[in-house]
Amino acid sequence: MPNEGDPLEDIEIDDDRVERGLALLARLEHEQLPLPDAVDRIETVTSDPTVTRTILDRAELHGIIEREDGIVRPKSRQYVRFERDVITKEGDFSCRRCGSGLKTGYFIDLEAGELGPFGSSCIRKVTGRDD
């Protein structure tokens, strides 16, 4: 019987939310950020607290981030390149981060799948270009 307190056993290994969350954390442009800010980024992938904990635990386990005293430090330096990794689409969208209506949506093209849509300011915040 799985340990009910262990989120690593509660979430399927191939859950695409976990994979996208790990891919996003690996691409953040921060030397460090407070845990609530990291959770804010992860919430663009999922609002499920169990999945969020799983993403953070697996990211630490796989060396994608370090966590200490409420601070998250991304270890990778594979930043999102706007020219290559951000796709622009026209249409009627709602920003995945703030909920604003959009005519132009920006999507991050991660190995684990597309993440978005975001508005022009939220795409910069999610990737760590703006605080």
**Domain boundaries along the sequence of the chain:** 7-74, 82-127
What is this structure's pTM? 0.82
Mind listing the pLDDT tens digit for each residue in 15-38? 899 999 999 999 988 889 999 999
**In the chain, pLDDT over 70 holds for what percent of residues?**
89
Give CA angle at 124 (49, 114), nearest 5°.
Answer: 60
CATH number assigned to the domain with residue range 7-74, chosen from the 4 options 3.30.420.40, 1.10.3720.10, 1.10.10.10, 2.40.50.140? 1.10.10.10
pLDDT tens by residue, 79-115: 888 889 999 999 999 999 999 999 999 999 998 889 9
Q: Which residues contact 117 (CB under 8 A, 6 or more apart)?
A: 89, 93, 94, 95, 96, 102, 105, 106, 107
